[in-house]
A and B are shown apart, each in its own frame.
Chain A
């Protein structure tokens, strides 16, 4: 079945540091890829998405590129802020009418002032 693998956490960075969170996937079809963010005490929010190979999703300074050849969707940000502290989930969805999301384990990011 489909699966998503995220790098182990937690990750602690200083403000303005560069961020990379790795995500790889296995899928039988041609999935859409997502990054979700969960701020403390809140529900998951869609951060960015990509629906086909070589697409780059971007939002709030975060970027991720759909790499079909390496089955990866790594999340990057050039300069993190304290307000980016949250849990980040990589996910994929197949394309059927009853498509479901498959999540990675999530990684906690803490940004120090």
Chain B
């Protein structure tokens, strides 16, 4: 149980285009989803926290107009990278926290999406 999927697993796009990444919790309902960015040989950096039905909370330094997050249902959150540029190339990972959160608030992670902007 507790499977999170991401789609696509990789995407290549031209500079200036927008890219949408989907994150789905397949067998549980997620009140909260998180979006991370991972640079090569570095840690995961939290970009934003997304609660179903409300606006996402962005971490300091993350442009909310650049990285649009929508959490339309308890099983789906989307991240749209608008007007992508080469510096946006990265590995984007989502995670989901279950509706019936345990005492330690475990997050379940998706497999990640590799974005390459040419």
Within 8 A of B (CB), among A64-103: 89, 93, 95, 98-103
- When the two chains form their complex, are residues A46 and B106 in contact, meaning their CB atoms are under 8 A apart? yes
Whether A44 sits at the interface, judged by CB under 8 Å, is: yes
Q: Which residue of A lies closest to B3 (CB)?
A: A43
Range, interface on chain B: 20 to 34
Q: A100-B34, A103-B44, A105-B42 are in contact. Are A42 and B107 (CB under 8 A)?
A: no
- Chain B residues near A105: list those with CB within 8 A: 41-43
Complex interface: chain B residues within 8 A of A42 (CB)? 111
Interface residues of B in 32-76 (CB under 8 A from A): 32, 34, 41-44, 46, 49, 57
Least distance between A102 CB and chain B CB atoms (Å): 8
CA distance A84 to B95 in the complex (A): 23
Q: Quick check: A100 and B44 within 8 Å, CB to CB?
A: no
Which residues from chain A contact B108 at a C-beta distance below 8 Å? 46
Known A49-B104, A89-B43, A105-B42: A41·B49 in contact at CB below 8 Å: no
Tell me the complex Cα distance, A46–B95, Å: 12
Interface centre among A41, A42, A101, A103 (most CB of B within 10 A): A101
B111 touches A100 (CB 8 A): no
Closest to A94 in B: B105
CB-contacts of B3-23 with A (<8 A): 4, 6
Chain B residues with Cβ under 8 A from A45's Cβ? 109
Contacts A103-B43, A104-B43 given; does A41 touch B111 at CB 8 Å: yes
Selected from A41, A51, A98, A102, the residue in CB contact (under 8 A) with B103 is: A51
Sample of 7 A–B contacts (CB below 8 Å)? A32-B105, A43-B110, A43-B111, A44-B93, A100-B46, A101-B46, A106-B43
A residues neighboring B (CB under 8 Å): 32, 36, 41-46, 49, 51, 89, 93, 95, 98-106
12 additional contacts, CB 8 Å, given A43-B112, A105-B41, A106-B41?
A32-B105, A36-B109, A41-B111, A43-B6, A44-B93, A51-B104, A98-B32, A101-B44, A101-B107, A104-B43, A105-B42, A105-B43
